[in-house]
Amino acid sequence: MAIDIKKVEEIIDYKFKNKKLLEEALTHPPGNTGSPSYERLEFLGDAVIGLAISKHFFWDEHYDLSPNDLTRLRSANVNNDKLARVAAHLGLYHHVQGTNISDSLEQAEKFEKEMREEKWLVYGREKGPKFLADIVESIAAAIYVDLNFDMQKLYPVCIFKVSPLLSICLSVYIDEEFIASKSSKLKKNARIYAADAALSVLRPKRETPVNDGGGDYETEGEDEEELHDQKKKWTKTIYRKRDEGLD
């Protein structure tokens, strides 16, 4: 299938000078479609996103945190599951080409359906397929190369699409007490309702109704649990409890 370059550029809000880079970023291995697969770009993109998000947390968001806290915050957010959710929100997998990708596309469709049923929560029951995370990493790298490896120019493009999701993930409070990841399980799945405005940031191009019902924020990973244990009073994106009945 031919990639709709213009459509993808609209989704990521970036117009490529070298369209071949975007074709490569959206070509599933082993390729065999006239374009090399995204594997090399994926390798570069992993480092590129890590650096961009590190700068975001270090300079723009949590400049008062210790290096150890910043490391935990980054590792809790920049991982396959979170990037897969970005790809699902943007619908990027619909534009991937390649041979023998039916299984990957089926997994992606199933994951997107589960996310929709969960009202697009940033943390959910199911882990995101690595295939989806690979797409985000490869596109980030393609933009980086297209910008002649200029991180300063890449930063606003990358952060605009990725950071709104990641920042909200680790900035959830209930009555000013930090809640994240396994803390929700330790507190018997404390129910929290994210602000409507915050959820609209997570899915700016979706028509799915705002979450007007319950839903558990269940995050995973030791880093997220350790972040909760410190109970830092970080200053970004505070949500208030709307439901008094915690299980």
pLDDT at residue number 31: 54
What is the structure's pLDDT at 60? 73
Q: Which is more confidently placed, 33 or 140?
A: 140
Above 80 in pLDDT, residue 80? yes
CATH number at residue 163: 1.10.1520.10
**Within a domain: 116:** yes
Which of 128 and 171 is assigned the larger pLDDT? 128
Q: Is there a domain that residue 7 lies in?
A: no
Asked if the structure places residue 108 within a domain, the reply is yes
Cα→Cα distances 198→55, 127, 171, 193, 201, Å: 22, 22, 11, 10, 5
How large is the angle between the packed helices 222-230 and 67-77, nearest 10 degrees?
140
Is 38:24 a contact under the CB 8 Å cutoff? yes
Evaluate whether residue 193 is within a structural domain: yes
CB contact at 8 A, 44 and 65: no
pLDDT of residue 150: 93
For residue 246, tell me if it sits in a domain.
no
Report d(CA 205, CA 191) in Å as an integer.
26
Q: What is the pLDDT of residue 125?
A: 58
pLDDT at 38: 92
Count Cβ atoms below 10 Å from residue 118 Cβ, excluding itself.
Answer: 18
pLDDT confidence band for 121 (50 / 70 / 90): low
Number of domains within the chain: 1
200-216 mean pLDDT: 40
Q: For 86-120, what is each residue's pLDDT tens digit?
A: 888 888 999 999 877 888 888 889 888 887 776 65
Over residues 209-235, the mean pLDDT reads 41
Mean pLDDT throughout 206-232?
A: 41
Please give the DSSP secondary-structure letter assigned to residue 129.
Answer: P
The position carrying tokens 């970004």 is 236
Given pLDDT bands bounded at 50, 70 and 90, which one contains residue 198?
A: very low
pLDDT at res. 190: 29
What is the residue range of 43's domain? 18-230
Is residue 5, in this structure, part of any structural domain at all?
A: no
**Whether the predicted pLDDT of 197 surpasses 90:** no
- Please indicate, yes or no, if residue 113 is contained in any of the structural domains: yes
Q: In angstroms, rounded to a whole number, what is the distance separating the alpha carbons of residues 216 and 121?
A: 8
Is 74 part of a structural domain of the chain?
yes
> What pLDDT band is residue 141 in, cutting at 50, 70 and 90?
very high
